[in-house]
Structures are given as C-alpha cells and as structure tokens.
C-alpha cells in the first residue's frame, strides 16, 4: 500500500505536517507554481508572507531559496495577514505565496498560492501537481534565503481601511481585541483605534494557538467571556492565525457566526450579488436582501471562481467562517474599497461595528434583523481521511445509519452530496457532515431556527459521530 503524500492540496492551498515541507517538497511545488500559474506575471518577483507558527520562518526561507534557484526574485513581506499579502500582489500584478496553516493544529503548516491576477483556483492544482512531480526528481542544492523585510504589504493593508472609513467611524465603541497568536492582531487593534474605537488587548500569546473561528475552543471562548464579564465592552473581536477569518462576539457573549457576519456586511455594503458555500445560512434567501445568491462547494477557490463567472458590479462572496471577498470596488461615504477577491477578516469586523455605531444600536440588534436561522459547527480531531470519508458516504446511502443519529434523518427531505453529506429534515433543520480539506478532522454543521436547538442538535451529532467511529475502531 502506498503512503499518502507528505503534503497535499486541501480546501484552500497546500497543507501537511510542518516537517513534510522539506527542501525537495518546497522546491518542487514552488517550481510547479511559477511554471504553470505565473506566466502572466508583470515581473519575476514573488512576494512571500507568513503567519506566527514556529515552523513558518524556516519554510518561508525555503520558499525564498527555491524561488532564487528558479530564477525568480523573492520579496519578503514578513509576518502579515494573508489578505494583506494578496492585496499587495494584486496591486502589482505579481505572484504571492503565504506560509500558513491558518487555523489547523500548530504542528501543521501550508502554502497558499496567489497568481498574478488573484487566488489560485482548483483548476490550477492539477497542473502544479504534475509539474511538481517532474521537478521532485531534479531538486538542486539551494540555500534557504529571504531578503530584508519590506513593510509595504502591512502598511498598505492598514491604510486600505483607515483611508476608506471615517476616523470617527467607530467612535464611542469600547472593543476587546482577543489577540492570541493571530498574525494580524496588531493591525486589527491599531485599525480599530484609528477609526475611533477604544481598544483593550486580551489573550495575547507568544506561543502559537490554533483558533478556529467556526469552532472556537472552550478555553479561548472562556477568555472572551471573562473579558465581557465586567460589562465594559460593546464587543470582542479577533481573527484566525493568518487573518482571513473574523471572530465577533457581541456584548452579551454570543458569537456572530461567520455567515451571519457576511450577510450583514454584504447588506451594509449594498451588494447586489452574493456568492457563498452551501453551508452558509438559509436566512440569506429568506431575507430578500440580495438580487442574486449563488451557492458553491466549500473553499474560497470555488467562491472566487463563481464570483468571476457572475462578473457583475456589486458582487461579494463570503464563507461560513466569515472570510469576506470583494469582487469589485465599492464606494463608501468616506472613500473607496478596492476589489480584493480573497478572504479578509478585517473588512466584516469594521463594517458591522461601524454600522452599529452609526445607528447607535448593538451588534445583537443588527443580527436580529436577519431571519432567525442559527448555524453552528464543530469537529472531531485526528480522524483519518479515509475513515471520515467512508462514514460520510454511508450516511448518504443508509437510512438505518441515519436513523441511529436521529429519527428525523431516516427519510430527510433532501440529501445533497455536493460536498460531504448534507441532510435537510422535514422540519427544515440542516445537518451537514463533511471531511475537512485542511486537517484530519470530521466536521459537522447544523442549522435550525434557534441557538438552543442548534447547539443541542450539534452536540448530539458530534456524540453520535464519535460513537460510530469508536465502534469501528477508527479513533
């Protein structure tokens, strides 16, 4: 039996255990990328960024060395959020490579690629794989290398928001910034203060902590609730490790799920068309806020591709994790937000907080304007992909197995296998099981009409998954 590759393409980018990013593996994939996806670059420059994982500086240096050996010029953006790197590259028509594992465990890492015209698409992955395989047998002996750090990507990203919004946009708000080990924590804090908010840092960590904004660990949520306990903050904000997924918790301690945050942001921006994966809340359709809603598979490359297909003014995208994408420029009262078709955590946080400040209402009041549908997600960790995939496929086929999870699933109204197994019950509840494309995890998404019912059903589904996997000897 052949062993799986040390690293492979996941939902968005190349992922694997950090020690799998060897000199040969990095050279082969960097070579495959520049050979197949960078033919339209304005120059042979490639900008490199990284998150704050312990392994990221070493991998970034391997990326720089590989580019140099291949005849390309690396630009070292240093530790920056992924959207900052993407905006820098898109403005200049050059390629970019982000060294990040996003929200997955600390011993994993990854490479996220940007073509000169934007985010890598799913259709780009196979040519890179083929080219990388050919290059893997001819890796030269190169030295890790990075030039001196250029702060332009970081500075331009901060200015993107301080220029587009009024310096008083957040005046009167008191915000706790849960910084943990997010690479964009200082930019987030400083941008909110530059727009008029009073900010307090909480939970800053010099050791990398994996924060998944779709399924926040109890220990992280405890720090957030502790900050809110004194009653002095209007909200707590944060982002994941590489700064492309936002986290917003209202003054009452309720997390605003990423899809709700995306829907509110799209409405406030007066977007006409929304592209989002099928896991995002069905309240989008019920709201009547948008002319067009297009659903995709999970993963920003699918969202980016569909946004390009729509090709319309006023098009935006977002995922259930809250990462927000701009398919065109948007004119705001104070300035212009330039197109940025990649996930961004800072934009939805600022837009929603600014709207709350403008209308003198709470974040919770804004959320209440969306029809009452509540989606939550959780996951089981350290599940082998084959084991997760087999169970998910059986759930699509077997009414008996589904009934063992919940009687309402035996004969659901809908079974959708576009991306995992997504079930809609006769009463309209949604239960979606899928294998993570980024880590050895089995995910479950649940949507019902209330937070209490959603959490109860989600907890029950996670417990059933664990029971079935244990019974099969998979855990």
Active site amino acids: 102
How far is residue 433's CA from residue 402's CA, in Å, rounded to a whole number?
A: 11
User: Counting Cβ atoms within 10 Å, is residue 121 exposed (0-12), middle (13-18) or buried (19+)?
Assistant: middle
Residue 138: count of CB within 10 angstroms of its CB: 10
Enter the tokens of residue 358.
């403008």
CB-based contacts of 433-436 (< 8 A; 24+ apart in sequence): 433/391, 433/392, 433/395, 433/461, 433/465, 434/298, 434/392, 435/383, 435/385, 435/388, 435/389, 435/392, 436/10, 436/11, 436/379, 436/388
* Radius of gyration (C-alpha) of the chain in whole angstroms: 22
Enter the tokens of residue 321.
């994790």
Residue 221: count of CB within 10 angstroms of its CB: 17
Residues with Cβ within 8 Å of 126's Cβ and at least 6 positions away in sequence, in order, are none
How far is residue 170's CA from residue 179's CA, in Å, rounded to a whole number?
A: 19
On the CB side of 179, how many CA atoms lie within 13 Å of its CA? 17
Enter the tokens of residue 149.
């750090």
CA 91 to chain centre: 22
């Amino acid at each position: 039996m052949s062993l799986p590759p040390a690293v492979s393409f996941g939902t968005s980018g190349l992922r694997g255990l950090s020690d799998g990013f060897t000199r040969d593996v990095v050279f082969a994939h960097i070579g495959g990328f520049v050979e197949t996806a960078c033919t339209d670059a304005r120059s042979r420059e490639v900008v490199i960024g990284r998150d704050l994982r312990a392994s990221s500086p070493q991998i970034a240096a391997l990326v720089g060395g590989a580019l140099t050996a291949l005849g390309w010029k690396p630009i070292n953006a240093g530790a920056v959020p992924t959207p900052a790197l993407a905006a820098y590259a898109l403005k200049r028509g050059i390629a970019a490579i982000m060294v990040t594992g996003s929200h997955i465990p600390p011993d994993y890492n990854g490479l996220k690629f940007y073509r000169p015209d934007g985010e890598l698409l799913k259709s780009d992955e196979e040519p890179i794989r083929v080219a990388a395989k050919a290059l893997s047998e001819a890796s030269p002996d190169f030295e890790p290398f990075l030039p001196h750090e250029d702060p332009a990507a970081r500075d331009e990203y901060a200015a993107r928001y301080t220029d587009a919004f009024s310096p008083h946009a957040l005046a009167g708000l008191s915000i706790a910034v849960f910084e943990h080990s997010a690479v964009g924590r200082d930019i987030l804090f400083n941008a909110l203060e530059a727009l008029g908010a009073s900010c307090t840092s909480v939970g800053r960590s010099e050791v990398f902590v994996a924060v998944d904004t779709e399924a926040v660990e109890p220990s992280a949520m405890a720090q957030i609730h502790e900050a809110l306990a004194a009653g002095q903050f209007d909200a707590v904000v944060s982002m994941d490790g590489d700064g492309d997924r936002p986290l917003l918790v209202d003054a009452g301690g309720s997390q605003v799920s990423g899809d709700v945050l995306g829907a509110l942001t799209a409405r406030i921006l007066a977007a006409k068309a929304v592209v989002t994966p099928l896991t995002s809340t069905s309240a989008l359709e019920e709201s009547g806020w948008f002319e067009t809603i297009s659903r995709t598979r999970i993963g920003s490359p699918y969202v980016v591709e569909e946004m390009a297909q729509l090709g319309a003014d006023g098009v935006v995208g977002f995922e259930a994790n809250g990462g927000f994408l701009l398919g065109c420029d948007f004119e705001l009262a104070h300035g212009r937000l330039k197109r940025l078709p990649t996930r961004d955590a800072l934009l939805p946080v600022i837009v929603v907080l600014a709207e709350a400040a403008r209308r003198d209402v709470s974040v919770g009041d804004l959320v209440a304007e969306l029809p009452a549908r509540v989606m939550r997600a959780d996951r089981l960790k350290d599940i082998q992909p084959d084991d997760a995939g087999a169970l998910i496929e059986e759930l699509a086929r077997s009414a008996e197995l589904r009934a063992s999870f919940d009687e309402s699933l035996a004969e659901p109204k809908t079974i959708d296998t576009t991306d995992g197994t997504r079930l809609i019950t006769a009463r309209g509840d949604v239960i979606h099981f899928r294998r993570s494309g980024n880590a050895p995890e089995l995910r479950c998404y649940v949507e019902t009409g209330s937070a209490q019912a959603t959490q109860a059903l989600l907890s029950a589904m996670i417990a059933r998954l664990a029971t079935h996997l244990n019974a099969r000897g998979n855990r």
